[in-house]
Amino acid sequence: MLEKIAKKIEHGKQLTRKDALFLLSEAELLAVARLADNIRRKKHPDNRVTFVVDRNVNYTNVCESQCKFCAFYRTAEDGDAYLLDYQTIFAKVQELVEHDGTQLLMQGGLHPTLTIEWFEELFRQLKERFPRVQIHSLSPAEVIHVARLSGLSMKKCLQRLQVAGLDSVPGGGAEVLVDDVRREISPNKIGWKDWAAVMEQAHKLGMRTTATMMFGSKESPEDIVEHLFRVRNIQKKTGGFTAFIPWTFQPDNTELGGETASGVEYLKVLALSRIVLDNVENIQASWVTQGARMAQVALFFGANDLGGTMLEENVVAAAGCSFRMSKDEVIELARGAGFIPARRTTEYQVLEEY
Amino acid sequence: MSDLLKELRSKIDSGTRISEDDALALFESNDLLGIGELAALVNRNKNGDKVFFNVNRHINYTNVCVNRCAFCAFSKEEGEKGGYTLALKDIRTRAMEAADAGATEIHMVGGLHPDLPFEFYLEMLESIKQVRPQLHIKAFTAVEIDYFSEVAELSIERVVERLKQAGLDSLPGGGAEILGQQVRDRLCSEKISGDRWLEVTELVHGAGLRSNATMLFGHVEQYSDRVDHLRRLRELQDRTGGFQTFIPLAFQPENTRIQGATGVGGVDALKTLAISRLYLDNFQHVKAYWVMLGLKIAQVALAFGVDDLDGTVVEEQIGHDAGADSPQALSKQQIIGMIRKAGRIPVERDTLYNEIRTY
């Protein structure tokens, strides 16, 4: 079976779900890694490992979705509920710029009263003050929520946000793109088709996006495979995804609780992502959930990118997982594995090699 | 596959030993997967799909130490705040608790205490055996054995004999650090030399006791120092056959006095384990010590030639004082789960690798 799959990959033929399931559930870790690494080296023969200098700003933790895997959300009544004002956000972005940052990843809860005007004004003012910072913000769930609160169609909402300054959309909130799983872990969040619809619309409007997957909670191996094929199919239609980012559920302080995925499971899913998503250029390693040692190893399991340096990160940290890395550490990590570290933009243009 | 790996593959197939030059070339190579594949093959031939663990408890009987090794965050001087020495009754209580919780082994090491008489160590062993005779006592590094011989003014042979009579069953592999003297001068200049470590270990094996061997890596040493370390161990093992397991220990830089060390990267950790598996053809086992590697890398290491995950350690102090962020203890169920999720067969063993139960 493994040889058959290897042949298919060699001849550029698409794998079936059954092939993918075999790789995930039965094949040996290093055999899957080898297939993924070959693809990664073919796609990125420059031997680079890229990263972006960015900051996560979580404008609010008030969220109506209240997903069971999340340790970050609060209700509006909670004592530690917050909504950042513009000045606070500007100060954070100013700090980002002082660190050579180029990407602002702004995400928040599904706030009960923030309508599109709040975001439009914010984006306009951000663009005025920081014209060189890419606004890479609002996941599909937020876009749909803001549209609904504002009485707009999703398309109109995205268009207006884009005009105001939204440059690209991060791929969060994908969790697992299978509604049976979503009903269990995030019953109030949009279904997989809505997630896909926002991404396709963003792509049509000329905005690039990423796609993520959060695994290690309640899904089956079949669900993981389905997720990858759904992302692959969207990409086939639009070509708008720049990168795929699998990461693992972090159980501390969440309603779901339980354990996180093991190291072997993470690397296998990562490698499988590289193999199945032959039409997505970049695969990110998640040092935020895996730690620096695993992220370095991940560079041999299909990953060619280390994501952001994240001057600030709150969501994963709330779930008891608080790895931090400086830009220098990210550079050293890539170099230590024999790669050329390179700082990039959100859209993967290389700015500087180290 | 690179030429180097092809050549090594044919050496492995024909049972030819890997040379020091080969090992050095592997350390300098970035072909992590290729090295891992070879090491996995060698391990499979030796140990099949089995992954061993044991249920043990660490007792660090004192942290007061006359040596001031630069890499150590555990030791204290006598009279220094935070210094401690466990009373015999505490050691007994811990041993009883451990045995009653299913432990088969006590792993006991400590600092080189300036005042404790040799009889103290004998009494420690005797009192554990008195209350729980079934426990295997794996205790004292070659460094401690050498120190006891000085304290007691007895030969190494005589010290080992007395300890054995008192209940010592085998020795752990600590204190080896890097055996080369130039590195030791910077790392632990007051500690016994690498040659002495090997000499004492040879005498221990000669007395019929098994031991392990460690290597502390990722501080000031070069790859060539690691290869030299492995060579000395392989040579001694050729003579005595007394080593059970090789355990590379990833250096933890926090709270130590090694300037500029950043800790061991994941790739280096896996490569070092895999190369050890390839080079040390006369060692049956290679252990990933999860306390220092972290659980995720330790599990991944099972695909890189490792066949042992150490114990479900209770109350580890030394690695954690140096900033290890792994949990302090793992339950048996967790370790079994980790092994299963890596697609391997969990086997609980005793200290001497007799199989107790397959899960």
Query: A180-213: per-residue pLDDT in tens?
Result: 999 999 999 999 999 999 999 999 999 999 999 9
Cβ contact (<8 Å) for B300 and A29? yes
How distant is the Cα of B112 from the closest Cα of chain A, in angstroms? 33
Q: What is the pLDDT of residue A85?
A: 97
Which of A28, A267, A295 is nearest residue B300 as measured by Cβ atoms? A267
List chain B residues with CB under 8 Å of A329.
Answer: 262
How distant is the Cα of A65 from the closest Cα of chain B, in angstroms? 31
Q: What's the pLDDT band for A283 if we cut at 50, 70, 90?
A: very high
**Contact in structure between A141 and A189 (CB atoms under 8 Å):** yes
Cβ contact (<8 Å) for A28 and B303? yes
Q: What is the pLDDT of residue B315?
A: 55
List A52's β-bridge partners, or say none. Answer: A308
How distant is the Cα of B33 from the closest Cα of chain A, in angstroms? 7
List chain B residues with CB under 8 Å of A295.
Answer: 266
Q: Is A262 on the interface with B (CB under 8 A)?
A: yes
List chain A residues with CB under 8 Å of B262.
Answer: 329, 332
> Can you state the angle between helices A192-204 and A154-164, rounded to 10 degrees?
50
SS (H, E, C) B15-48: CCCCCHHHHHHHHHCCCHHHHHHHHHHHHHHHHC
Q: Residue B141 and residue B211: Cα distance in Å, rounded?
A: 9
Cβ contact (<8 Å) for A332 and B262? yes
Which of B33, B296, B303 is nearest residue A37 as measured by Cβ atoms? B33
List chain B residues with CB under 8 Å of A262.
Answer: 295-296, 299, 337-338, 341-342
Cβ contact (<8 Å) for B297 and A294? yes
Q: Residue B214 and residue A163: Cα distance in Å, rounded?
A: 62
List chain B residues with CB under 8 Å of A263.
Answer: 295-300
Cβ contact (<8 Å) for A293 and B303? no
Residue B297 DSSP SS3: helix
**Contact in structure between B142 and B191 (CB atoms under 8 Å):** no
The low-confidence residues of chain B, meaning pLDDT below 70, are 1, 255, 313-328
Q: Which residue has the tokens 């239609």?
A: A237
Report the candidate in B317, B341, B321 with the shortest Cα–Cα distance to residue B329: B317
Q: What's the pLDDT band for A123 if we cut at 50, 70, 90?
A: very high
Mean pLDDT of A268-276: 98
List chain A residues with CB under 8 Å of B337.
Answer: 262
In chain B, which residues touch A (CB < 8 A)? 30, 32-33, 36-37, 40, 262, 264-270, 293-300, 302-303, 337-338, 341-343
Residue A170 has pLDDT above 80, yes or no: yes
Mean pLDDT of A122-126: 98
ipTM exceeding 0.85, yes/no: yes
The token pair that represents B325 in the structure block: 């962020």
**Contact in structure between A74 and A80 (CB atoms under 8 Å):** yes
Q: Residue B325 and residue B291: Cα distance in Å, rounded?
A: 8
**Intra-chain end-to-end CA distance of chain A, in Å:** 41
List chain A residues with CB under 8 Å of B38.
Answer: none
Which of A28, A293, A299 is nearest residue B269 as measured by Cβ atoms? A293
Give the tens place of pLDDT for each residue, B67-125: 988 888 888 988 899 999 999 999 999 999 999 888 999 999 999 999 999 999 999 99
**Contact in structure between A347 and A50 (CB atoms under 8 Å):** no
Cβ contact (<8 Å) for A262 and B303? no
Q: Is A38 on the interface with B (CB under 8 A)?
A: no
Cβ contact (<8 Å) for A300 and B267? yes
Q: What is the pLDDT of residue B323?
A: 65
Q: What is the pLDDT of residue B311?
A: 78
Which of A294, A333, A337 is nearest residue B296 as measured by Cβ atoms? A294
Cβ contact (<8 Å) for A293 and B296? yes
How distant is the Cα of B269 from the closest Cα of chain A, in angstroms? 9
Which of B266, B302, B343 is nearest residue A297 as measured by Cβ atoms? B266
Residue A30 has pLDDT above 90, yes or no: yes
Q: What is the DSSP string of A61-126?
A: -B-SS--TT-SS-B-TTSTT--B--HHHHHHHHHHHHHTT--EEEE-----SS--HHHHHHHHHHH
Chain A residue closest in CA terms to B38: A30
Cβ contact (<8 Å) for B296 and A28? no
Cα A222 off chain centre by: 21
Mean pLDDT of all residues belonging to chain A: 95
Q: What is the pLDDT of residue B326?
A: 67
Q: Is A112 on the interface with B (CB under 8 A)?
A: no
Mutation target among A247, A297, A321 for the B interface, most CBs of B within 10 A = A297
How distant is the Cα of A10 from the closest Cα of chain B, in angstroms? 16
Give the tens place of pLDDT for each residue, A315-339: 778 777 777 788 999 999 999 999 9
If residue A214 lies in a helix (H) or strand (E), which one and from where to where? strand A209-215
Report the candidate in B121, B106, B112, B185 with the shortest Cα–Cα distance to residue B144: B112
